[in-house]
């Protein structure tokens, strides 16, 4: 075996040492970000897991921890309080929270269409939202549907207090409906296929957007203080996330596989169907023609007015302070 001359050996040692130090510096440059989801992982969260698996966040200096959530209301509360720097939550609830003093900003819209839906049994005699007067609606306490319910009720000429809310776990919705311990429940459209499978022809359904209420749905939100101190990091996070959503629309299977690998209890076929329904919720004229993930100024003003009129705001504010499109890559659009 050949041996190194002294100077060569010293140079090699210096090179190895520098490489080690560089690696340590690169590892040290990672910023841990605890991203709280709106709910437990499902098909709608596949892009985050895909980008994480591909190393896209790490490449941008972000050590992303995906934290399961327990409802949009709780995610909004945690981000507003700074317990989590970034989260995912229903935009209507975010506006309500802003009116209560929660200091947070939306940076990327996922659902251009409201995902909210009402489900019931046709055999119960319920035919429309107005038939829910005097009935029991079951869902988790932290569910975003509760925050927006007054808007749906009032826009349909109902007293929001004319229904009784029952606290149940998300996984108990179908069983409670079948057992008739509740009269109706709420759910996102991306798991519509599960309700269809379980309830069959007896499934009653109303999409909130078809009942006159179509505000923006889930958006990525950032604690305002964190944003002020970490604008370059948020910029990189948004651009990676936007790229990941576009990649999953183009080729969903690897994205869903990444989700499954990180959450073993999930089933590939079910979450793939979930994701396909998510694509429907993501798509509107603005996301297709301007940018994927954008909050349209006119729609945000309309959503603000809706919340102000039907729900109320403790303290009115300039709606433009509640969101920003500055981090989006305008060349990335929703597929047509």
Give the tens place of pLDDT for each residue, 288-310.
999 999 999 999 999 999 999 99
Q: What pLDDT, on the 0 to 100 scale, is given for residue 177?
A: 96
**Any idea which fold 29-113+216-322 has?**
D-Maltodextrin-Binding Protein; domain 2 (3.40.190)
Q: What pLDDT, on the 0 to 100 scale, is given for residue 7?
A: 42
Q: Strand, coil or helix: what is 127?
A: coil
- In tens, the pLDDT along 206-226 reads 999 898 889 999 999 999 999
Q: What pLDDT, on the 0 to 100 scale, is given for residue 18?
A: 39
* Mean of the per-residue pLDDT values of the chain: 91
Query: Above 80 in pLDDT, residue 286?
Result: yes
Query: Above 70 in pLDDT, residue 127?
Result: yes
Residue scoring higher pLDDT (336 or 4) = 336
- In tens, the pLDDT along 95-107 reads 999 999 999 999 9
Is 224:81 a contact under the CB 8 Å cutoff? no
Q: By percentage, how much of the chain surpasses pLDDT 90?
A: 85
pTM of the shown model: 0.85
Beta bridge partners of 206: 118
Residues of the chain with CATH 3.40.190.10: 29-113+216-322, 116-211
Domain at 116-211, CATH homologous superfamily: Periplasmic binding protein-like II (3.40.190.10)
Binning pLDDT at 50, 70 and 90, where does residue 10 land?
very low
List, in order, residues 6 or more apart from 149 with CB less than 8 Å away.
137, 160, 163
List, in order, residues 6 or more apart from 98 with CB less than 8 Å away.
104, 313, 317, 321, 322
Alpha-carbon distance 301 to 127, whole Å? 32
Question: 314: which 2 tokens?
Answer: 């403790």
Question: 52: which 2 tokens?
Answer: 């994480």
Beta strand 184-188 pairing with 136-139: parallel
Beta bridge partners of 33: 64
To 10 degrees, the CA torsion angle through 245, 38, 103, 225? -60
Alpha-carbon distance 294 to 126, whole Å? 37
Q: What is the mean pLDDT of residues 160-168?
A: 96
């Amino acid at each position: 075996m050949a041996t190194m001359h002294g100077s060569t050996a010293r140079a090699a040692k210096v090179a190895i040492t520098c490489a080690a130090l560089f690696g340590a510096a690169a590892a040290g440059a990672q910023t841990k970000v605890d991203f709280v989801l709106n709910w437990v992982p499902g098909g709608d969260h596949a892009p985050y897991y895909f980008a994480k698996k591909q190393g896209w966040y790490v490449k941008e200096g972000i050590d992303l921890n995906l934290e399961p959530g327990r409802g949009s209301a709780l995610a909004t509360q945690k981000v507003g309080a700074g317990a989590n720097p970034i989260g995912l939550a229903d935009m209507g609830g975010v506006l309500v929270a802003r009116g209560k003093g929660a200091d947070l900003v939306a940076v990327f819209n996922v659902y251009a269409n409201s995902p909210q839906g009402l489900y019931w049994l046709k055999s119960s005699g319920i035919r429309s939202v107005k038939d829910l007067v005097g009935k029991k609606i079951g869902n988790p306490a932290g569910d975003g549907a509760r925050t927006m319910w007054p808007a749906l009720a009032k826009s349909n000429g109902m007293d929001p207090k004319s229904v009784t809310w029952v606290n149940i776990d998300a996984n108990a919705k179908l069983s409670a409906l079948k057992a008739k311990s509740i009269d109706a429940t709420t759910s996102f459209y991306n798991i519509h296929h599960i309700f269809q499978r379980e309830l069959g022809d007896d499934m009653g359904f109303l999409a909130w957007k078809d009942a006159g209420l179509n505000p923006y749905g889930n958006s990525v939100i950032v604690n305002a203080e964190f944003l002020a101190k970490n604008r370059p990091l948020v910029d990189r996070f948004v651009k990676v996330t936007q790229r990941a959503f576009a990649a999953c629309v183009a080729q969903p299977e690897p994205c869903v596989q990444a989700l499954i690998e990180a959450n073993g209890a999930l089933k590939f076929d079910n979450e793939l169907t979930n994701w396909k329904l998510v694509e429907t919720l993501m798509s509107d004229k603005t996301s297709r023609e301007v940018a994927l993930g954008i909050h349209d100024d006119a729609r945000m003003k309309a959503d603000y007015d809706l919340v102000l009129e039907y729900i109320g705001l403790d303290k009115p504010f300039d709606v433009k302070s509640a969101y920003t499109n500055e981090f989006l890559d305008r060349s990335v659009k929703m597929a047509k």
